[in-house]
């Protein structure tokens, strides 16, 4: 049954989509900038530091702004992130050396940390149960589109000056920021958060704006630490394999425009899969998880088999495209289960805590894999996919199915 959304919910979807589009652009800037002379000339050990610094600031934003979103509200963090984006983008545009570029990226990545947890939390709490899964897939997928878009611009403008590339970047980024900022002032606060904070009259007022009916399927929450461990493992598997095969393999093993082409093809594969996953998510979160990680393991193994043909674009790029499709299916699993599995007053901070493990692991892996041969690098990705597959099998038998359940859990 098609559910009619209110103008407030449509505004939330639009503003969240713009925020995630910006995330994709932000996440791609550091690896794409490795083609700029003042970055490409860095020794490989310093290059690895440059590539993991953005994630370091994102994790700080995850934790700081994730906790803040549970303490003082989702909407405040939602608006704050756009201010951080705009400031950081201007610094990136004006940067002429590695230090100013890192400063701009750091500010935007800090904002991304808040964007991610606030978006997943607010969207899951303010949409009807029948539509929740679809939009928890669609909205995060905009980050893949953002990555593909900025990579395409770098491919298109490869022969141009750095200033021209920055001009394209700042124009698109500030338009998206303006749309996000304008719409976020009109987005309702989470009525569930207001209600559980004891602000009943405000909660009822916000609930009327989104016209939500009460969900009937309420369940007991799964053991917090069990959920944390499983989600951490599948997060490490998906986040590292996506990041390493999209953003890091290019700067480490390829040069010039190939870096942009790899990011574009990988992001395009993920983008296409995101639209497909919107219709797959209501198979059931458990089934989608198994399908995603088994498929990812098989496709990365095929890349390993054809590794000698890595420089043949007609072989490597289709395999990368396919592997990133399964990575997006896996991310769809994460972006639905994570907000659906935790109680309201712990939801945002718990999502941030789950993300602590993949992001720290990603930072370490960028540094460690800098000394790997390409074969070792792909084998490492095979192992990561295998870990995720094992975790999803355990979740299939021991976890709970969150499709269509209420976001309000039965209390003990």
The DSSP result for 336-393, as a single string, is HHHHHHS-HHHHHHHHHHHHHHHHHHHHHHHHHGGG--HHHHHHHHHHHHHHHHHHHH
**Full pLDDT tens readout for the chain, 412 residues:** 566 788 888 989 999 999 999 999 999 999 999 989 889 888 888 899 999 899 899 989 888 988 888 888 888 888 899 999 999 999 999 999 999 999 999 999 999 888 888 888 888 888 888 889 999 999 999 999 999 999 999 999 988 889 999 999 999 999 999 998 888 888 888 888 999 899 999 988 888 888 877 666 888 888 899 999 999 999 999 999 999 999 999 999 998 889 999 999 999 999 999 999 999 998 999 999 999 999 999 999 999 999 998 888 889 999 999 999 999 999 999 999 999 999 888 888 899 899 999 999 999 999 999 999 999 999 999 999 999 999 999 999 999 999 988 888 765 5
Let me know: does 160 contact 376? Beta carbons within 8 Å: no
Give the residue among 43, 28, 257, 42 at the shortest CA–CA distance from 157: 257
Round to whole Å and give the CA distance between 330 and 289.
6
pTM of the model: 0.91
Round to whole Å and give the CA distance between 21 and 410.
35
Let me know: does 180 contact 202? Beta carbons within 8 Å: no
Which three-class secondary structure string do you get for 256-278? CHHHHHHHHHHHHHHHHHHHHHH
Phi first, then psi: what are they for 102, rounded to 5°?
-65, -40
Residue partners of 365: CB distance under 8 A and separation at least 6: 240, 244, 380
The DSSP result for 57-109, as a single string, is: HHHHHHHHHHHHHHHH-HHHHHHHHHHHHHHHHHHHHH--SHHHHHHHHHHHH
Round to whole Å and give the CA distance between 262 and 254.
9
Which domains can be identified in the chain, with CATH numbers?
Answer: 7-398 (1.20.1250.20)
Residue partners of 309: CB distance under 8 A and separation at least 6: 315, 316
């Amino acid at each position: 049954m098609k559910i009619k959304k209110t103008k407030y919910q449509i505004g939330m979807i639009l503003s969240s989509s713009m925020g995630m589009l910006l995330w994709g652009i932000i996440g791609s800037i550091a690896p794409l900038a490795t083609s700029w002379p003042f970055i490409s000339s860095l020794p490989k050990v310093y290059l690895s530091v440059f590539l993991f610094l953005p994630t370091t600031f994102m994790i700080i934003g995850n934790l700081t702004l994730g906790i803040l979103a549970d303490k003082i509200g989702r909407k405040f963090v939602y608006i704050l992130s756009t201010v951080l984006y705009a400031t950081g983008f201007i610094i990136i545009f004006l940067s002429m050396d590695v230090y100013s570029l890192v400063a701009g990226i750091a500010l935007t990545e800090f904002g991304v940390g808040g964007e991610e947890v606030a978006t997943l939390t607010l969207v899951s709490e303010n949409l009807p149960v029948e539509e929740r899964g679809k939009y928890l897939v669609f909205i995060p997928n905009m980050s893949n589109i953002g990555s593909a878009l900025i990579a395409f611009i770098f491919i298109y403008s490869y022969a141009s000056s750095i200033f021209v590339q920055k001009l394209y970047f700042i124009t698109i980024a500030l338009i998206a920021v303006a749309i996000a900022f304008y719409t976020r002032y009109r987005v309702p606060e989470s009525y569930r958060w207001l209600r559980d904070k004891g602000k009943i009259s405000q909660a009822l007022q916000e609930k009327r704006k989104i016209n939500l009916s009460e969900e009937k399927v309420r369940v007991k929450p799964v053991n917090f630490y069990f959920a944390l461990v499983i989600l951490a493992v599948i997060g490490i598997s998906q986040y590292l394999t996506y990041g390493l095969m999209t953003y890091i393999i290019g700067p480490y093993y390829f040069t010039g425009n190939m870096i942009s082409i790899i990011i574009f093809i990988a992001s395009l594969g993920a983008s296409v899969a995101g639209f497909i996953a919107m219709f797959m998510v209501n198979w059931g979160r458990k089934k989608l998880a198994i399908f995603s990680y088994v498929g990812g393991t098989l496709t990365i193994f095929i890349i390993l088999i054809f590794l000698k043909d890595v420089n043949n674009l007609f072989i490597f790029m289709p395999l990368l495209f396919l592997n990133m499709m399964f990575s997006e299916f896996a991310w769809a699993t994460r972006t639905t289960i994570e907000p659906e599995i935790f109680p309201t007053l712990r939801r945002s901070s718990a999502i941030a805590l789950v993300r602590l493990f993949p992001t720290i692991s990603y930072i370490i892996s960028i540094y460690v894999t800098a000394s790997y041969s390409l074969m070792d690098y792909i084998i490492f990705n095979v192992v990561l996919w295998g870990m995720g597959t094992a975790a999803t099998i355990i979740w299939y038998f021991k976890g709970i199915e969150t499709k269509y359940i209420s976001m309000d859990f039965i209390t003990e």
